[in-house]
Structure 1
């Protein structure tokens, strides 16, 4: 269940939808179930995001709602088996999806490896995990699970 959490300068709803569809298609083409791809957006409040001590969220950020993103900070939760090339290509796809092509644009993409068994989601009314852990001998004996 890959997730892409975008914090950025203001984006229009149509820009968010366009980026979401592009990222979902890319992730599906690289082995993810499109129905499990989650993309979320947050617009940073004024004076809330700084790079090199310089605020990238200025007081007037809310006035340019129709423009492309000027900056973004993105956190991606992906399977720990995804290699450097996959992460690099996904970071490039995020850049393009958000339209961060200008010379003055700022982008940081951080990857958090997340095992599927640590993600729960509703499926047919029940919580399920993407990849349950195999039963170990300790589990069979009824011992506490704190060591897992």
Structure 2
């Protein structure tokens, strides 16, 4: 279950929807189940994000939503088997999806996450992408193990 957590300047609802759809489609094209791609957006309060000791959010930030982020910090939880090329391509896709210009501040951090460490609700019960204990549907959830 790949997850993308975006922290940025305020984005309009349509900009968030556009970015989420674009990232979901990209991940689905690269082998993930689109139904399990999660994208979350968080807007920071003024004077809450600093780089090199300099605030990237000012006292005036927070009220105006825009169609593109001015800066972003992103954390992606992905399968540990994803290689450097995948991560580099996804980082660029995130930059484009958020509308960040070449001079903007953007960091994308990848957190490899074993599928058996992610649980999700399916058909009324919690399941994970890892192998089930012997005798309890040992193959259930394996279809998500590489996504």
Fold shared, TM-score > 0.5 on shorter chain: yes
Q: Which TM-score band applies after superposition, normalised by the shorter structure?
A: 0.7 to 0.9
SS at match of 2:60: helix
What is the root-mean-square deviation in Å for CA atoms of aligned residues?
1.2
Residue-pair matches, total: 134
- Tell me, in whole angstroms, the C-alpha distance in 2 between the residues paired with 1:83 and 1:134: 29
Q: State the 4+ residue runs in structure 1 displaced beyond 6 angstroms.
A: none
The structure that is helix-richer by fraction is 1
- Tell me, in whole angstroms, the C-alpha distance in 2 between the residues paired with 1:55 and 1:76: 23
User: What is the deviation of 1:125?
Assistant: 0.5
- Tell me, in whole angstroms, the C-alpha distance in 1 between the residues paired with 2:96 and 2:127: 33
Gaps of 5+ in 2: 135-147
Deviations 1:49-86 (A, max 9, x none): 00111101111112331341000000000000000000
TM-score if structure 2 supplies the norm length?
0.87
- Tell me, in whole angstroms, the C-alpha distance in 2 between the residues paired with 1:120 and 1:102: 37
- Tell me, in whole angstroms, the C-alpha distance in 2 between the residues paired with 1:85 and 1:133: 31
TM-score if structure 1 supplies the norm length?
0.87
Q: Which has the larger radius of gyration?
A: 1
What's the counterpart of residue 58 of structure 2?
58
What's the counterpart of residue 144 of structure 2?
none
- Tell me, in whole angstroms, the C-alpha distance in 2 between the residues paired with 1:49 and 1:89: 25
